[in-house]
Structure 1
Amino acid sequence: MGGISPVTGGADAPLLPKSKLSAKHASVSGAVFNVSTSIIGAGIMSIPATTKVLGVVPAFLLIVAVAWLADISVEFLLRFTHAGDSTTYGGLMKESFGQVGSVLVQICVIVTTLGCLIVFLIIIGDVLTGNQHGESIHLGVLQEWFGIHWWCSRPFALLFIVVFVLFPLVLFRRVESLRFTSAVSVFLAVVFVGISSVMAIAALIEGKAKNPKLLPDDKTSVFDLFTAVPVIVTAFTFHFNVHPIGFEMEKPSDMTTAVKISLVLCAAIYFAIGVFGYLLFGEEVMSDILVNFDHISSPMGSLLNDVVRLSYAFHIMLVFPLLNFSLRSNIDEFIFPHKPLLAKDNTRFLSLTLFLLAVCYLAAIAIPNIWYFFQFVGSTTVVSLAFIFPAAIVLRDVHGISTTRDRVVAATMLVLAVVTSTIAISTNIYNYVV
């Protein structure tokens, strides 16, 4: 789940033109780029760790299965949206379940976006100040460059980034003002993926690659396997970007085509990163693979490793304001539904902006491991946005367009989502308590 375009959660939010078709239609290729960018985000960092838990073969099957289900759920959203009068995800839920449905979507978007922002800061902290996993200590870029100092600590480094980098970026009142930083962030993500793949292939040729397991070993319990499912679900969740991108297309079928191409492309990228990351680091791969790059040698030495880590860290810094824009808008509309526009109220705008930055900063300091966030968010709000809500819309069928096949698929999707999430949440709670 990556560069999420700003989305207000209310059913009547001014997200799109009043007509369902924009005057200037977007191309399929442009939509593929936008959808792919929405999918690929911080979730890619945990794909290698998920591959380690599952094994290469189950990881591949799970990636394919989740991508396929995501395609079906998006098709449900598009078909029922064009059958009614809604132009947003919240509006679609409001048509089926009233104001309660709209509020549920809004809450899920808030929780998901806030969780992602916290994860972003955790990853930035890992890159700059390192992390410790058991007895394994991973140095950050600052420690490698300057040594161990108080100003290289996670609290100080993140505070510096929040105040001098993120705060100026989140002060923009319009999304269009962030278009240049968004373009740069996409380029940096491509740099990260490209260099990582080349390093893994080079290690394989030199015989330095690790030997990945194809299937789960005896140490992995069946319940542990379910904790990996939310990570993959989170990595394929872009459903609150479906409406903004889809309504720029000339025909609904164009968006369907773009989604299919994007899902195939992203599934291939995820599997490649999972395998290459596992080849590089084996059983030592961490939930945030960026941390591992301080323990690997390359033809260019530490410079290439630092480029890999910093490229993605800067990518995340530039995506941060986009998600913050969405989070801030949803929270403001949720708490102050009858107030004037947030951008026109300086006091409310600055207060909410500072509050959200403070919450994200404190949470990133308190929770050093991103695996827990992907498990929690993926087991609750993300699975609701991606599978539970679309399935519920089909089963509710307020427009009378559901076929028997639709109901069977939706019911199956709903049961699988609820059962998997319940097991994952229960396992996480049990592991945390024990």
Structure 2
Amino acid sequence: MVSTFGGIVVFSIIIGDVLCGSDNGGSVHLGILQEWFGSHWWNTRIFALLFIYGFVLLPLVLCRRVERLAFSSAISFILAVFFVVISSMLAISALMKGQTKSPRLFPDLTNGGSFWNLFTASPVIVTAFTFHFNVHPIGFELKDPLHMIPATKISVVLCAAIYFATGLFGYLLFGDATMSDILVNFDESSGSSIGSLLNDIVRLSYALHLMLVFPLMNFSLRANLDELMFPTRKPLAEDTNRFIGLTLALLICCFLSAIAVPNIWYFFQFMGSTTTVSIAFIFPAAIVLKNVHGVSTSSEKMVAAIMLVLAVATSTIAISTNLYSLTSN
């Protein structure tokens, strides 16, 4: 639940970055609303997110069955692919003009701190591929829960392809200036050669994608939270008061969190090195090693033990490095 909550808060922060821009370490990136209408009180982050939550996300999260989100989920996937296609076209265009950044095959390890900073990438990667909490709530809504097996495999492959393409083309365009939220680089002050129209299309397409993915993540979070808090009550979809109460409470908490912590890096780092690494690696490895039903082979136990040690070590180093960076700044 913590991972899911952190994920939808990250979505909210990114949407806020797209609409209202960000100011990270003195580097100011304008949002779409500021570029179109100038800076006003009504297009600040808090009011823009309040409008999105009230008029876009709230109607979507009020859907009680996951099949009602099928159409919006399909559109969100198309928008994600559209984002990658446009980004690749921009990168190829910049490459032909000789305006791309030269990617490094190996990290710059000029000092010890740079080496330890490599481990801060692992929480981001782990978070990107941690979807386990969505499998069961969505699978129970399907006519045949076994359909989740091929759906999960296809999803992993598609996500890996989209992540790889986004990272590659993003670095070709922005190099070391790439921010934790790459969408804020697609603004008029980013120094890229692309037109403002394509900049806005890229950012809006992915922001809309996140808005449509948000209710699916919220569905899993709400279902898991309800099962934890009310295990003996009737199904959530059949209890209107409980359904609306949980839905509104989660939306309010997500909104306040997105306003209080307007940088996705903190969520990625500490969530990715604690809860998500536990869900993705530590708990599965512990289950295999425990071997309650006696089905684990010796080779599986060996792999699980190695995975457990690596997960704990990497997570510990990542947490320590992030804490050191926070205290030293």
Q: Which amino acid aligns with 2:181?
A: D
Corresponding residue for residue 237 of structure 1? 130
Residue range with higher mean Cα deviation, 408-417 or 342-351 = 342-351
The question of 1:274 aligning with 2:159 is answered: no
Corresponding residue for residue 157 of structure 1? 48
Confirm or deny: 8 A CA contact 1:189 1:315 kept in the other structure.
yes
Q: Alpha-carbon deviations, 1:87-112, whole Å to 9, x = none?
A: xxxxxxxxxxxxxxxxxxxxxxx101
Q: TM-score, normalized by length of structure 2?
A: 0.91
The question of 1:318 aligning with 2:209 is answered: no
- In the aligned structure 1, how far is the partner of 2:191 from the partner of 2:29? 11
Corresponding residue for residue 177 of structure 1? 68
- In the aligned structure 2, how far is the partner of 1:376 from the partner of 1:349? 30
Judged with a 3 Å threshold, the aligned counterparts in structure 2 of structure 1 residues 322 and 233 are, in CA distance, closer, same or farther, namely same
- In the aligned structure 1, how far is the partner of 2:151 from the partner of 2:228? 32
Judged with a 3 Å threshold, the aligned counterparts in structure 2 of structure 1 residues 170 and 291 are, in CA distance, closer, same or farther, namely same
The question of 1:213 aligning with 2:104 is answered: yes
Query: 284, 303, 308: which is aligned to 1:390?
Result: 284
The question of 1:228 aligning with 2:121 is answered: yes
- In the aligned structure 2, how far is the partner of 1:352 from the partner of 1:111? 15
Q: Which amino acid aligns with 1:135?
A: G
- In the aligned structure 2, how far is the partner of 1:387 from the partner of 1:430? 25
Corresponding residue for residue 196 of structure 1? 87
Displacement of 1:150 in angstroms is 0.7
Judged with a 3 Å threshold, the aligned counterparts in structure 2 of structure 1 residues 261 and 315 are, in CA distance, closer, same or farther, namely closer
Confirm or deny: 8 A CA contact 2:120 2:321 kept in the other structure.
yes
Q: CA RMSD in A?
A: 2.1
Displacement of 1:271 in angstroms is 2.7
Confirm or deny: 8 A CA contact 2:180 2:265 kept in the other structure.
yes
Per the alignment, in what secondary structure is the counterpart of residue 232 of structure 2?
Answer: coil
- In the aligned structure 2, how far is the partner of 1:279 from the partner of 1:355? 41
Corresponding residue for residue 232 of structure 2? 338
Q: TM-score, normalized by length of structure 1?
A: 0.70
Identity within the alignment, %: 66
Confirm or deny: 8 A CA contact 1:185 1:315 kept in the other structure.
yes
Corresponding residue for residue 421 of structure 1? 315
Q: Alpha-carbon deviations, 1:251-281, whole Å to 9, x = none?
A: x9xx4x8766665554344333222111101
Q: Which amino acid aligns with 1:158?
A: L
Corresponding residue for residue 222 of structure 2? 328
Instruction: Within 5 Å, give how 1:275-294 maps onto structure 2.
Output: 275-294=168-187
Confirm or deny: 8 A CA contact 2:173 2:192 kept in the other structure.
no
Per the alignment, in what secondary structure is the counterpart of residue 412 of structure 1?
Answer: helix
- In the aligned structure 2, how far is the partner of 1:355 from the partner of 1:138? 32
Q: Which amino acid aligns with 1:230?
A: P
Corresponding residue for residue 275 of structure 2? 381
Residue range with higher mean Cα deviation, 388-397 or 208-217 = 208-217
Q: Which amino acid aligns with 2:277?
A: V
Displacement of 1:212 in angstroms is 2.5
Instruction: Within 5 Å, give how 1:130-145 maps onto structure 2.
Output: 130-145=21-36
- In the aligned structure 2, how far is the partner of 1:429 from the partner of 1:152? 33
- Give the total of aligned pairs: 320
Instruction: Within 5 Å, give how 1:11-160 maps onto structure 2.
Output: 110-160=1-51
Query: 297, 309, 318: which is aligned to 1:403?
Result: 297
Q: Which amino acid aligns with 1:390?
A: P
Judged with a 3 Å threshold, the aligned counterparts in structure 2 of structure 1 residues 158 and 263 are, in CA distance, closer, same or farther, namely closer
Per the alignment, in what secondary structure is the counterpart of residue 355 of structure 1?
Answer: helix
Per the alignment, in what secondary structure is the counterpart of residue 99 of structure 2?
Answer: coil
Displacement of 1:382 in angstroms is 1.0
Q: Alpha-carbon deviations, 1:10-68, whole Å to 9, x = none?
A: xxxxxxxxxxxxxxxxxxxxxxxxxxxxxxxxxxxxxxxxxxxxxxxxxxxxxxxxxxx
Q: Alpha-carbon deviations, 1:161-211, whole Å to 9, x = none?
A: 001111111111111111111111111111111101111111111101112
Confirm or deny: 8 A CA contact 1:298 1:305 kept in the other structure.
no
Q: Which amino acid aligns with 1:393?
A: I
Q: Alpha-carbon deviations, 1:358-391, whole Å to 9, x = none?
A: 1111110111111111111111111111111111
5+ long unaligned stretches in structure 2: none
Judged with a 3 Å threshold, the aligned counterparts in structure 2 of structure 1 residues 277 and 135 are, in CA distance, closer, same or farther, namely same
- In the aligned structure 1, how far is the partner of 2:74 from the partner of 2:198? 23
5+ long unaligned stretches in structure 1: 1-109
Judged with a 3 Å threshold, the aligned counterparts in structure 2 of structure 1 residues 358 and 282 are, in CA distance, closer, same or farther, namely same
Q: Which amino acid aligns with 2:11?
A: F
